[in-house]
């Protein structure tokens, strides 16, 4: 995985979850807000210590994780995701 400079993993902060550098705000929290319909401007308004680059870094981090994920096909069992 390529390093995402604004994202750090520090075992002493949030049990080592990926966070935005200099904060205790986790990547998954920002992604959850965005997935729940929050706009970028709403996140920045509610968390004024963050910048647009922090939000983009969270998205980049998630993209890096998914890109490197290995998926193995299994027989279709009538289930769909999403």
Question: What's residue 44's pLDDT?
Answer: 98
Higher pLDDT, 82 or 21: 21
Q: What is the pLDDT of residues 8-60, one digit of tens each?
A: 999 999 999 999 999 999 999 999 999 999 999 999 999 999 999 999 999 99
Taking residue 54's Cβ as centre, other Cβ atoms within 10 Å add up to 21
Q: What is the mean pLDDT of residues 50-71?
A: 93
Question: What's residue 12's pLDDT?
Answer: 95
Per-residue DSSP letter, 26: B
Q: Classify the phi-psi angles of 12: left when phi > 0, otherwise alpha if psi is within -120 to 50, otherwise beta.
A: alpha
């Amino acid at each position: 995985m390529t390093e995402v400079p604004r994202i750090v993993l520090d075992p002493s902060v949030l049990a080592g979850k990926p966070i935005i550098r200099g904060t205790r705000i986790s990547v998954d929290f920002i992604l959850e807000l965005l997935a729940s319909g929050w706009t970028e401007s709403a996140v920045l308004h509610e968390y004024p210590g963050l910048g647009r680059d922090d939000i983009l870094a969270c998205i980049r981090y998630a993209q890096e994780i998914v890109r490197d994920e290995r998926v193995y096909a299994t027989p279709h069992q009538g289930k769909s995701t999403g």
